[in-house]
Amino acid sequence: MNWQSDLNVIETVFVPSLERWYEYHKRDLPWRHTRNPYYIWLSEVILQQTRVAQGKPYYERFIAAYPTINDLAHADERELLRLWQGLGYYSRARNLHQTARHITEQLNGKFPETYHELLKMKGIGVYTAAAIASFAFGERVSVVDGNVYRVLARVFGIDEDITTTSAKKTFAALAARLIQQASDPATYNQAIMEFGAIQCTPVAPDCLLCPVQQQCVAYLTGQQNRLPIKAKKAPVRNRYFQYLIFKNGDKIAMRERTDRDIWQNLYDFYLLETDEPKPMLRDLLLPDSVNELVQQGVLSTMPTGAMQLLSHQRIQAMFYVIDLPDKLAGHLPTGLKWYSQAMIGDLPKPVLIANYLEKSFG
């Protein structure tokens, strides 16, 4: 079935229907009370792959901590990551910082105002560029996010796999055509996303009260639960982290993660990763220098375990606390540094580590 044959009929009904629906059903969200491109940008980056309910408190904290892009540009990166802690995808925070500096220093503080200029910024891709361009500057460019894929796939009965490049082109072309019908591009873009989030939900969409029910191919053919089509993701990778937590008095040894891996620029402890579970400290193959520290230290508490589920990894961690006498405090493995409890509170940490610290030392 070719959706293009029905497009002319549907599009003139679909767009105004969504705009009307939005006017009545839209949520009152803080970033909807501004056209300041800096605030819009901040909200959009926070909301990438993140639910509104999760991102909202972060948005409030960020605009309080960094009221202007100039403030963000001059922020301490560690403090910024600490504010971002728990949101995940930490490269978003690093790119945010980098782009704030770029705009402040290279662009003389002038925020890019067009879709194409916005796309050049680090951390601003096709979705975010379209969102800022339309919301802040009124440009007639269409956003295509997860909500839009779902709504369009259902209403227009598109059964291409949305993870493929060709499908992305199909949806982008359709969205670009639809927004030509919009009375206001910003309102329409927000409307279709809000509609996907509230009405045309992934599971159990509210078709009975849907304003475009009679225009929806999926509803009319009973395919709401089949569309959109999406290829399954690769299974999650299992990883086993053995953490050695060196203590000296009230100080704990931590290090910044700098490898090309998860949690870049966040802080954790001395880590030995193994390819299978190693619940016994004595089974760990440690470097000689580290092993010597372990031998001379005191295993001060029972080892504890924890699991952290990411979207693409399942991390099973063991935590071994080792008390070091003063005379060995200067012999930490490379990269580790001593931090007092108060200092650790200011360090950005993965949720796995923050939870552990809270439970064991909080």
Partner DNA sequence: AACTCGGGGGC
Partner DNA sequence: GCCCCAGAGTT
Known catalytic residues are 44
Q: What is the Cα–Cα distance from 266 to 85, expressed in whole angstroms?
A: 9
CA 201 to chain centre: 20
Q: At its nearest, how many Å lie between DNA and the CB of residue 255?
A: 16
Shortest distance, CB of residue 309 to DNA, whole angstroms? 6
Nearest-angstrom CA–CA distance, 334 and 262: 20
Specify the 3-state DSSP secondary structure of 67: coil
Task: Say if residues 240 and 325 touch (Cβ distance below 8 Å).
Answer: no
- The angle at the Cα of 179, spanning 174 to 184, to the nearest 5 degrees, equals 165
Question: Which of 146, 333 has the CB closer to DNA?
Answer: 146
State which residue, 64 or 234, has the beta carbon closest to DNA.
234
Comparison of 95 and 301: residue with beta carbon closer to DNA: 95
Distance in Å, CB of 233 to DNA, minimum: 7
Evaluate whether 151 touches 216 at the Cβ level (below 8 Å): no
Label residue 345 left, alpha or beta by phi (over 0 means left) and psi (-120 to 50 means alpha).
alpha
CB of residue 48 vs DNA: minimum separation in angstroms? Answer: 4
DSSP string, 185-216: HHHHHHHHHHHHHHTS-SSS--GGG-TTGGG-
**Closest separation in Å from C-beta 221 to DNA:** 18
Residue 36, Cα to own-chain centre: how many angstroms?
A: 22
Element containing residue 305 per DSSP (H, E): strand 304-309
**Least Å from the CB of residue 74 to DNA:** 21
Minimum CB distance to DNA, residue 92 (Å): 7
Mapped to the 3 state alphabet, what secondary structure does 68-91 carry? CHHHHHCCCHHHHHHHHCCCCCCH
Q: How far is CA 75 from CA 26, 51, 63, 97, 131, in A?
A: 34, 25, 12, 8, 25
Helices (H), 199-276: 217-221
User: Which residue lies nearer to DNA by CB, 213 or 264?
Assistant: 264
* Residue (192 or 293) nearer to DNA, CB: 192
Residues of the shown chain interacting with DNA in the complex, contacts defined by CB under 7 A: 29, 31-32, 43-44, 47-54, 86-91, 95, 121-129, 131, 145-147, 149-150, 164-166, 190, 193-194, 196-197, 202-204, 228, 230, 232-234, 260-264, 308-313, 350-352
Q: Which H helix or E strand runs over 29?
A: none
The letter for the amino acid at 243 is Y
Alpha-carbon distances, residue 233 vs 57, 145, 237, 312, 324 (angstroms): 30, 18, 12, 9, 44
